[in-house]
């Protein structure tokens, strides 16, 4: 399927100068294009291959939002801006393979920054939120972004109660039994943690393990997987946990779910909690 990029879709005239019909047609094209790429990125078929880069995808989202801002009455019911960046998973979540779990707090997608101005804008927003002066220094901790499948783990009384995918951001799939086959995920937490401890993280596959898995696929005469991200997602969503157990999946916890409107402690505190809990 050949679809246009944001640069190709962007009109030569300013967005505000478009006619209503032109804006409506562009929004329809963008909705179709973005949904196509969402389905590839979040495909249940772990051999599917994304066709564009993250930056190109974000450019499509930005163009869609720019048109909607100029023509708010033309926002479509299936607008990409109304989704949490997980349309493909939302579609897959209707497959009926797994029970549904409502998240204690919405699982939102991360924002992106592709240049120094984006990072500066992010820092400025933090200062405004904390009511800090423009010249006040803030300390940040940067971590690598692991490209896998977002997961929420909830522990009560130290025992794993459930593991849920992000789904549509509000409701995800119950993949608890499959997640229990991942060595990085403790079934019971160590002492010294709150009675209710919920973490968000990423299920992923390293490139080395991905290459080894694809070699095994070829030896068996089976189709190789498209990329580590899709291989991890497809492996986690198997109907049979025994298949998931055979896949080299790992889990990386990056945040704890706290009460709404409560500031998170420094990330070092979270790392200490994870070490106490038994996360690798």
- pLDDT at residue 86 tops 80: no
| Residue 245: predicted pLDDT | 93
The answer to whether 127 is a known catalytic residue is no
Report how far residue 218's alpha carbon sits from residue 232's, in angstroms, rounded to the nearest whole number: 18
pLDDT band at 36, cuts 50/70/90? Answer: confident
Q: Are 166 and 106 in contact (CB under 8 A)?
A: no
256-265 pLDDT, tens digit per residue, is 887 555 677 7
Q: CB-hemisphere CA count at 13 Å for 199?
A: 26
User: CB–CB of 225/213 below 8 Å?
Assistant: yes
Which helix (H) or strand (E) segment is 229 a member of? helix 228-236
Catalytic residue among 24, 127, 145, 239: 145
pLDDT band at 82 (very low <50, low <70, confident <90, very high): low
Distance of CA 159 to the CA centre of its chain: 25
| Assigned CATH topology for domain 149-277 | D-amino Acid Aminotransferase; Chain A, domain 1 (3.30.470)
d(CA 266, CA 252): 17
pLDDT of residue 247: 94
131 or 55: which leads in pLDDT:
131
Domain locations along the chain: 6-82, 149-277
CA-CA-CA-CA dihedral for 62, 90, 5, 21, to nearest 10: -70
128 CB neighbour count, 10 Å cutoff: 10
Q: Which CATH superfamily is domain 6-82 in?
A: Helix hairpin bin (1.10.287.610)
Query: Would the pLDDT of 155 be above 90?
Result: yes
Residue 142 pLDDT class (50, 70, 90 cuts): confident
- Compute the mean pLDDT over every residue in the chain, rounded to the nearest whole number: 85
CB distance 152 to 107 below 8 Å: yes
């Amino acid at each position: 399927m050949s679809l246009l990029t944001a640069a190709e879709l962007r009109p030569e005239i300013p967005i505000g100068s478009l006619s209503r019909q032109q804006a409506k047609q562009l929004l329809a094209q963008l909705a179709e294009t973005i949904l196509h790429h969402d389905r590839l990125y979040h495909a249940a078929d772990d051999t599917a291959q994304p066709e564009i880069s993250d930056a190109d995808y974000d450019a499509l989202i930005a163009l869609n939002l720019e048109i909607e801002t100029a023509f708010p009455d033309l926002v479509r019911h299936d607008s990409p801006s109304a989704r949490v960046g997980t349309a493909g998973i939302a579609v897959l979540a209707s497959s009926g393979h797994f029970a549904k779990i409502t998240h204690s707090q919405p699982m939102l997608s991360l924002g992106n920054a592709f240049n120094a101005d984006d990072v500066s804008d992010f820092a400025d927003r933090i200062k405004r939120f904390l009511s800090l002066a423009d010249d006040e220094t803030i300390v940040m901790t940067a971590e690598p972004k692991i490209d896998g499948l977002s997961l929420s783990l909830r522990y009560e009384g130290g025992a794993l109660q459930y593991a849920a995918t992000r789904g549509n951001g509000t409701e995800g799939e119950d993949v608890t039994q499959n997640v229990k086959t991942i060595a990085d995920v403790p079934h019971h937490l160590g002492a010294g943690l709150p009675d209710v401890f919920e973490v968000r993280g990423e299920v992923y596959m390293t490139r080395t393990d991905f290459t080894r898995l694809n070699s095994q696929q070829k030896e068996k005469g089976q189709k190789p997987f498209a990329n580590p991200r899709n291989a991890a997602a497809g492996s986690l969503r198997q109907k049979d946990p025994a298949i998931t157990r055979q896949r080299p999946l790992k889990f990386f916890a990056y945040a704890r779910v706290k009460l709404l409107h409560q500031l998170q402690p420094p990330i070092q505190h979270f790392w200490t909690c994870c070490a106490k809990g038994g996360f690798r």
